[in-house]
Amino acid sequence: MGFARACSVALVGVEGVVVEVQADLEPGVAAFTLVGLPDKSLVESRDRVRAAVVNSGAEWPQKKLTVGLSPASVPKSGSGFDLAVACAVLGAAERIDPAMIADVVMIGELGLDGRVRPVRGVLPAVLAAAEAGYEQVVVPEQTAGEAALVPGISVLGVRSLRQLIAVLCDEPVPEEPVEGQGRPDAMLAGLMIPGTGLGTGLAPAAALGDGHLPDLADVAGQPRPRQALEVAAAGGHHLLFSGPPGAGKTMLAERLSSVLPPLTRQESLEVTAVHSVAGILPPGEPLVSRAPYCAPHHSATMQSLVGGGNGMPRPGAVSLAHRGVLFLDEAPEFSGKALDALRQPLESGHVVVARAAGVVRLPARFLMVLAANPCPCGRHSLTGAGCECPPSVVRRYQARLSGPLLDRVDLRVEVEPVDRADHLGHGGRGESTAVVAARVRDARARAAERLVGTPWTTNSEVPGHELRTRLLVAPGALAAAERDLERGILTARGLDRVLRVAWTVADLRGADRPDASDVAVALELRTGIQRGVPMGTGQR
């Protein structure tokens, strides 16, 4: 009787569980049994592995073969177990030394000819292996760069099973020819989910193609929405743009991700792990360094926004926008069920999706931007524009954004129509993205220095209790906010969010703590009621 084991990783959401792949050979009728809660794609690995082993020049054992995936209680899906199953079988058949593969994590799909094809989710799988104490991983050659992002891990990228057998047996490694030179690599098809190419709302439209990023200087006029955009980027505050069509709401939202500072190393790993599992990680770019931007269509379902799908839940738009921007254009046109599902992730920074196949916790700390028209025709706020929507229709349209959802939005700005002078450029171009982004970086650095030693890095993450007890504003600065709370204009959550925005305004102008004018600016940005204070975010 022969026995061998190798290791692989089962992904549950964006978290990995190390799976021990055990192969046992016994005398009897030749058969191949796979146990351990495999799904359909994993059950089919029996035929893939057998053909790959034979076509790689190894002999398939003609005995009763049982392959177990432990722990057996964890559901396992995907084709990434093929490489570990093949090596475990070869170890049990004594083609390779079982001791050489006992503590090696192997991830990859096998083709019938023995080539190793890449799979999605390599980064979170290698992260799980590193956390479990493993030091060696074998991955497809195309994803070796992604696996190498994890520190303390020795990565071996292989092109075929034949090469891996030679390495494990200390034999000369054969050269595998590269097929289809000059054409796109067909092996990379396994890294992308069909339908996640261009045009899925995963990047601003102007950023696709030649790499040109949208610039804030392209936006004509709109000084107040621009300043609100800067405050939102500096503190991570959610934002609502309301106004008639053509005023520039979408243009402003598309430029927000360029204003955000580059991701830190830890944030980049988090975002890359989500994008790798979702199948939207661009081939050849193993690490996402810029804040992502996701703009789903208003016909998106609740499952596509928060995550779900058949079987084990998959990341939704809120997770794809993790550490970046989630832009909901024509927000009142989204279904009420989908919009209300955003309430919990807006507060907690993650989403828990429960399905029959299991419960998955997905990261979802994003900056939400809503854009809404004042009425179905969009002309309600325009003088002499001929809006024919009855008042009841206007109220019903605006009520599609529920009160609990709007209570979680820190900044609510009215975007006015662009006048002729601004549109023709007579008023001069506004500040560029680079200038605004520099101020945002400085403000975030002040906030990070103030919050050192805490689990928070931006003002939007600080709990209200900390704002009221440890991070105190100037004496008497909250008088206007307290009056609004007594009058019912603000809720208790709204008062905390006004405090967070006030700290961000103070950071942007380089102040040690907010004063009454900073609180007044925050109140005006939240309620829309004029407070008689300048809206500039620089030095006063």
**Which of these ranges, 284-288, 421-425, 487-491, has the smallest mean pLDDT?**
421-425
Mean pLDDT of 467-493: 87
| CA gap 346, 366 in Å, rounded | 8
Could you report the per-residue pLDDT of 407-420, keeping only the tens digit for each?
Answer: 899 999 998 888 77
Which position has the token pair 């500039």?
536
**Stretch among 147-156, 442-451, 530-539 having the lowest mean pLDDT:** 530-539
Which position has the token pair 């504003």?
Answer: 473
**3-class state of residue 349 by DSSP:** coil
Cis peptide bond upstream of 71, omega within 30: yes
Virtual torsion, Cα 475, 476, 477, 483, nearest 10 deg: 150
pLDDT above 90 coverage of the chain, percent? 61
pLDDT interval class at 92 (50, 70, 90): very high
Distances (CA, A) of 192 to 85, 281, 323, 505: 24, 7, 21, 41
- From the list 528, 242, 252, the residue with the least C-alpha distance to 375 is 242
pLDDT at 467: 85
Which amino acid belongs to residue 182? G
Has residue 531 got a pLDDT over 80? no
Spatial neighbors of 421 by CB under 8 A, at least 6 apart, are 427
AA identity, residue 528: G
List the structure tokens of 240: 């609502």
Q: Mean per-residue pLDDT for 335-344? A: 92
Tens-digit pLDDT profile for residues 22-53: 999 999 899 999 999 898 889 999 999 999 99
| pLDDT value, residue 233 | 96
Distance in angstroms (rounded) separating the CA atoms of residues 325 and 253 = 9
As a three-state string, the secondary structure of 501-514 is HHHHHHHHCCCCCC
Q: Which of 282-286, 424-428, 491-495 has the lowest mean pLDDT?
A: 424-428
Residue 208: closest CA among 218, 216, 197: 197
Question: What was the pLDDT predicted at 23?
Answer: 96
Among the listed residues 204, 218, 157, the one whose alpha carbon sits nearest the alpha carbon of residue 329: 204
pLDDT at 187 (0 to 100): 67
- 388/264 Cα distance (integer angstroms): 50
pLDDT at 427 over 60: no
* Averaged pLDDT for residues 351-380: 88
The closest of 301, 251, 535, 532 to 418, measured between CA atoms, is: 251
Question: Mean pLDDT, to the nearest integer, of 463-479?
Answer: 87
Q: How confident is the model at residue 309 (pLDDT cuts 50, 70, 90)?
A: confident
* pLDDT at position 521 over 60: yes
- Mean of the per-residue pLDDT values of the chain: 87
Q: Sign of torsion, CA 270 273 277 278?
A: positive
Where helices occur in 282-409 by DSSP H, the ranges are: 302-306, 317-320, 336-340, 343-348, 391-398, 403-406
Sequence-distant (≥ 6) Cβ neighbours of residue 115 within 8 angstroms: 159, 160, 161, 176, 187
> Among 26-30, 177-181, 236-240, 497-501, where is mean pLDDT lowest?
177-181
Ranking 47-51, 315-319, 361-365, 526-530 by mean pLDDT, the lowest is 526-530
Taking only the tens place, the pLDDT of each residue in 203-242 is 544 444 445 678 888 888 788 899 999 999 999 999 999 9
pLDDT the model gives residue 117 = 93
For residues 70 and 20, the answer to whether their CB atoms sit within 8 Å is yes
Contact in structure between 502 and 519 (CB atoms under 8 Å)? yes
For residue 56, pLDDT beyond 50? yes
Nearest to 410 by CA among 228, 226, 258: 228
**Looking at the predicted structure, is the pLDDT value of residue 428 above 80?**
no
Q: Please, which residues bridge with residue 11 across strands?
A: 16
What is the pLDDT, as a whole number, of residue 234? 95
What residues have CB less than 8 Å from 258, skipping those under 6 apart?
213, 214, 215, 216, 433, 437
- The answer to whether 100 and 172 are in contact (CB under 8 A) is no
Q: What confidence score (pLDDT) does residue 88 get?
A: 96
Segment 525-530 mean pLDDT: 82
Radius of gyration of the chain (CA): 28
Reported as a pLDDT band with limits 50, 70 and 90, residue 248 is confident
Grade residue 533 by pLDDT with cuts at 50, 70 and 90: low
Can you tell me the distance from the alpha carbon of 60 to that of 93, in angstroms, rounded to the nearest whole number?
8
Give the 3-state secondary structure of residue 66. Answer: strand
Rounded to the nearest 5 percent, the helix, strand and coil shares of the chain are 40, 15, 45
Percentage with pLDDT > 70 across the chain: 89
Model confidence, pTM: 0.89
**The predicted structure's pLDDT at residue 405:** 93
pLDDT band at 102 (very low <50, low <70, confident <90, very high): very high
The pLDDT of residue 176: 81
Per-residue model confidence (pLDDT) at position 314: 84
